[in-house]
């Protein structure tokens, strides 16, 4: 596809990749250590197809129904090699469904969700990568996330299952907070978790507005929506 929308996405993608490169370079890191997850929520499967054509392989979605319907529209050939990260808040009754199609669940924030995911993954004969979403300041429970004090128990709950592989931590910078300070705190928590779970070395942090701060603090995954796809339609 080389319609106007594809060209727009290509330009945005180039600009985001350039920001990632610049931020990695400024931090003395290799840009290859930072994976781009394009958050395609609210945008149609046609945009996902365009982005696949432009070389994007990792997508993020935050709503079960939207994510499952959208990615089910991809043909088997299109879906091959594409990894879908679920980044939204999960209820335990939805977790089972998400386990049927997501490759990574970044937003696990309580043992009940971990248990539901593991059970459903077993039923689907699948393995899931899991990141623990951390609530960095406790000021906005609506966004989800485990409080730092509860992180060790949650990490053990995930690591103790056969179906879930604990790969790291995820966070959203608290509203109004200095993102550099927030992501530095996340990096500290990541180091603590790795003492017990050395393979949980991924850090998903940084969105369109703060990816530079996240990469400076060691992010291995950035989750970018609007900087690639444009402003989201009103919710
Ligand atoms: C929507 C969303 C993003 C992307 O946000 P942008 O600011 O549009 O880049 C990243 N992470 C999560 C958890 C999201 O829900």
Pocket test for ligand 1, best of 38, 42, 51, 60 (most atoms within 8 A of CB): 60
pLDDT of 33 strictly over 70: yes
Average pLDDT of the residues in 180-194: 98
- Using CB atoms within 10 Å of the CB of residue 138, give its burial: 0 to 12 exposed, 13 to 18 middle, 19+ buried: exposed
Question: What is the reported pLDDT for 225?
Answer: 98
Q: Is 173 in the pocket of ligand 1 (CB under 6 A)?
A: no
pLDDT tens-digit map of 53-64? 999 999 999 999
**Directed axis angle between helix 45-53 and helix 64-72, to 10°?**
60
The whole-model pTM stands at 0.97
Alpha carbon of 39 to ligand 1 centroid (Å) = 6
Instruction: Write down the pLDDT at residue 187.
Output: 98
Cα dihedral sign for 92, 207, 145, 118?
positive
> From the CA of 101, how far away is ligand 1's center (Å)?
20
pLDDT band per the 50, 70, 90 thresholds, residue 138: confident
Token couple for 21: 């490169």
């Amino acid at each position: 596809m080389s319609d106007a929308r594809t060209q727009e996405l290509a330009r945005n993608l180039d600009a985001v990749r350039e920001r990632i490169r610049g931020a990695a370079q400024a931090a003395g890191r290799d840009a290859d250590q930072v994976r781009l997850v394009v958050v395609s929520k609210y945008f149609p499967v046609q945009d996902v197809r365009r982005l696949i054509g432009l070389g994007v392989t990792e997508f993020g979605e935050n709503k079960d129904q939207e994510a499952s319907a959208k990615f089910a529209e991809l043909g088997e050939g299109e879906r091959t090699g594409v990894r879908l990260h679920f980044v939204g808040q999960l209820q335990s009754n939805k977790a089972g469904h998400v386990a049927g199609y997501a490759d990574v669940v970044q937003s696990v924030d309580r043992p009940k969700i971990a248990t539901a995911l593991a059970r459903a993954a077993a039923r689907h004969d699948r393995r899931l990568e899991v990141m623990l979403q951390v609530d960095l300041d406790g000021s906005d429970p609506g966004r989800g996330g485990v409080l730092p004090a509860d992180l060790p128990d949650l990490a053990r709950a995930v690591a103790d299952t056969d179906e879930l592989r604990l790969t790291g931590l995820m966070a959203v910078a608290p509203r109004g907070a200095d993102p550099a300070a927030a992501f530095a705190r996340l990096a500290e928590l990541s180091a603590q978790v790795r003492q017990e779970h050395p393979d949980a070395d991924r850090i998903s942090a940084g969105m369109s507005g703060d990816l530079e701060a996240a990469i400076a603090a060691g992010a291995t995954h950035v989750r970018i929506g609007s900087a690639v796809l444009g402003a989201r339609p009103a919710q």
